[in-house]
């Protein structure tokens, strides 16, 4: 079987999960391609017998570039697929955002997997949430999930995997699902500050230009950020010269009101005893 594992991953967490799953498929004798989003073409979906689609949760939903890309998928009639994600807080509707476009194009989505990933969002109230995740236990769960995908496919039993996340198939009505439905790009742009470049520090290396997932950054001659910025702060957190910064002001408080530990425990999917820090 040709298995294409397609993954958007800014800081490597979701990629690790996809790789762990890919190793299981390879060990079982299948041809596996792990494809990053920057190299992805729509044919990577149509040419596979089994598609694995992964992305992190951003603002309790799938990142904008992923949602945009999935709008133009080719027909996938009857093709098997699964989705996976990592999250540093309320994952909200991310798995549903990944599986719904596949289902609309006719794919048979059999399951969804989710685990924690260290949060690299630079807003002070979230820094270093879930350190060192996904850890060996998360990756071993990812491998077990991949094994059950193979068992399920070889059994020929129709329907979903027994150990799949149910939120891969339907949009829940939980607090973070609703947050994910409300926090669309214009509102995020309004609420969250835009990074600013320090011309003294910027060496015009273009790292940020290449890394920006929405191609919103140009050098003129120093970084300028367009209106299409989705506030993922990748330019800022990864800049080799530390040349971009943000004044958080009240945004830190606003993020905290939505993604604080108490709300996450009451209204999110944090299990009793699970540590955030």
Ligand X SMILES: Cc1cc2nc3c(=O)[nH]c(=O)nc-3n(C[C@H](O)[C@H](O)[C@H](O)COP(=O)(O)O)c2cc1C
Out of 4, 13, 64, 148, which residue is the one contacting ligand X (CB under 6 A)?
A: 13
**101/117 with CB nearer ligand X:** 117
Out of 82, 120, 207, 263, which residue is the one contacting ligand X (CB under 6 A)?
A: 120
User: Tokens 């549903």 label which residue?
Assistant: 96
CA distance 163 to 148: 8
Q: For the window 56-95, what string marks contact with ligand X as x by the rule CB under 6 A?
A: xxxxx-------------------------xxxxxx----
Residue 172: which of 242, 122, 112, 88 has the closest Cα?
A: 112
- Compute the 3-state secondary structure of the chain and give helix, strand, coil in percent, each to the nearest 5: 40, 15, 45
Q: Is 216 in the site for ligand X (CB under 6 A)?
A: no
Task: Look at phi and psi of residue 138 and say left if phi exceeds 0, alpha if psi is from -120 to 50, else beta.
Answer: alpha
Out of 117, 174, 213, 223, which residue is the one contacting ligand X (CB under 6 A)?
A: 117
CB of 129 to ligand X, least distance (A): 8
**65/90 with CB nearer ligand X:** 90
CA distance 177 to 142: 23
Task: Look at phi and psi of residue 268 and say left if phi exceeds 0, alpha if psi is from -120 to 50, else beta.
Answer: beta
**117/174 with CB nearer ligand X:** 117
Q: Given the rule CB under 6 A, which residues bind ligand X?
A: 9-15, 56-60, 86-91, 117-121, 232-233
């Amino acid at each position: 079987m040709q298995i294409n594992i397609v993954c958007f991953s800014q800081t490597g967490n979701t990629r690790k999960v996809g790789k762990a799953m890919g190793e299981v498929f390879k060990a079982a004798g299948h041809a596996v391609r792990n494809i990053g989003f920057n190299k992805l073409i729509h044919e990577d979906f149509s040419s596979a017998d089994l598609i694995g689609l992964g992305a992190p949760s951003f603002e309790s939903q799938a990142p904008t570039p992923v949602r945009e890309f999935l709008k133009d998928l080719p027909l996938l009639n009857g093709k098997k697929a699964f989705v996976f994600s990592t999250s540093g807080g309320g994952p909200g509707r991310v798995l549903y955002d990944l599986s719904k476009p596949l289902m609309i194009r006719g794919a048979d989505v059999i399951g969804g997997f989710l685990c924690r990933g260290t949060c690299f969002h630079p807003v002070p109230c979230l820094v270093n949430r879930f350190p060192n995740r996904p850890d060996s236990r998360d990756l071993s769960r990812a491998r077990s999930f991949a094994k059950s995908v193979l068992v399920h496919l070889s059994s020929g039993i129709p329907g979903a995997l027994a150990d799949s996340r149910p939120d891969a198939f339907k949009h829940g009505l939980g607090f973070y699902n609703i947050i994910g439905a409300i926090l669309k790009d214009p509102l995020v742009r309004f609420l969250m500050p835009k990074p600013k470049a320090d011309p003294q520090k910027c060496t015009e290396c273009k790292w940020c230009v290449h890394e920006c997932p929405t191609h919103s950054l140009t050098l003129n001659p120093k970084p300028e950020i367009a209106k299409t910025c989705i506030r993922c702060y990748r330019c800022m957190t990864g800049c080799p010269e530390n040349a971009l910064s943000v004044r958080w002001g009240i945004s830190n408080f606003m993020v905290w009101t939505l993604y604080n530990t108490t709300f996450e425990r009451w209204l999110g999917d944090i299990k009793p005893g699970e540590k955030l820090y």
